[in-house]
Amino acid sequence: MTVISELLRENKRMLDKSIREIERERQGLQAQEKKLIMEIKKSAKQGQMGAVKVMAKDLVRTRHQIEKFYKLKSQLQGVALRIQTLKSTQAMGEAMKGVTKAMGQMNRQMNLPSLQKIMQEFERQNEKMELVSEVMADAIDDALEGDEEEEETEDLVNQVLDEIGIDINQELVNAPSAAVAAPAAKAKVPQVETAANEESGIDSDLQARMYGFRVWNTSINKICISQLYTNNMRVYQD
């Protein structure tokens, strides 16, 4: 291929040189044409018709020769263009040869079953990662929802106590005052103390139930979060 490339380059150089020589000859003939035209006009003014006819024949031959040079130059340029096309085609063939060789080596090195296995493993790991992310998000949402439910439960209990007219803090403050009432109200003291004791018993029972409910709710949340974390670790290890 190197010999062919050098041969094409040498022929292209020779054609370019010939085209330049033809162009110089044509320009010389055009200068001669202008000179003949001036001589013909001068001789015609002087009445030398014989000289005018001779120079007119030379002018016609000169113009024909100029046309031949134009045609010859065009033909040589066409040949040079073909050589350039062959040179470009040869360069493209060399490039395609190198590319084909590289592609063949790459295809031989690529293992299709291994690539399929890699893609399957990638898909499996991607699904596992999405599953773990989804489970963790659900666990966090459940934990936050548990806190919100606890707050809503406390609000609901306080609302119920307000509706039935029981204020725990106020009852605790007012409870001792029943034991030191004025002597004039001694007859009513047993009834007041009995009512206070009953209300205190109700309040204590409510507080005990609320405390037990809070402890139970907190324990359930911790157990759920621990179980979800254990499941996530098992899925990730698988």
> pLDDT 10s per residue in the chain (238 long)?
567 778 878 888 888 888 899 999 999 999 998 998 898 888 888 888 888 888 888 889 999 999 999 999 898 888 888 888 888 888 888 888 888 888 888 888 877 788 888 888 999 888 888 888 888 887 777 766 655 556 666 776 667 666 665 555 555 555 554 444 444 444 444 444 444 444 455 456 666 666 666 666 566 556 656 655 565 556 555 5
- Tell whether 135 and 24 lie within a shared domain: no
Domain boundary among 54, 87, 110: 110
- Tell whether 103 and 135 lie within a shared domain: no
Q: CB 25: neighbour CB atoms within 10 A? A: 15
Please, where are the H alpha helices in 47-166? 49-109, 112-163
- Tell whether 193 and 144 lie within a shared domain: yes
pLDDT digits (tens, 9 = 90+) for 122-152: 998 888 888 888 888 877 777 666 555 566 6
- Tell whether 97 and 153 lie within a shared domain: no
- Tell whether 120 and 232 lie within a shared domain: yes
Q: What's the domain count of the chain?
A: 2
Domain boundary among 75, 110, 145: 110
Give the range of the structural domain holding residue 166, as residue numbers without chain letter.
115-237
- Tell whether 127 and 228 lie within a shared domain: yes
- Tell whether 187 and 204 lie within a shared domain: yes
CA terminus-to-terminus distance, the chain: 59
59 token code pair: 């002018």
- Tell whether 136 and 45 lie within a shared domain: no
187 token code pair: 């007859």
Domain boundary among 62, 91, 110: 110
- Tell whether 91 and 187 lie within a shared domain: no
pTM of the model: 0.40
Cα separation, 88 vs 183, whole angstroms: 127
Instruction: Give me the pLDDT at residue 181, please.
Output: 43
Q: Find where tokens 């890699």 sit.
A: 118
- Tell whether 66 and 120 lie within a shared domain: no
Percentages (nearest 5) of helix, strand, coil residues in the chain = 95, 0, 5
- Tell whether 171 and 81 lie within a shared domain: no
- Tell whether 130 and 175 lie within a shared domain: yes
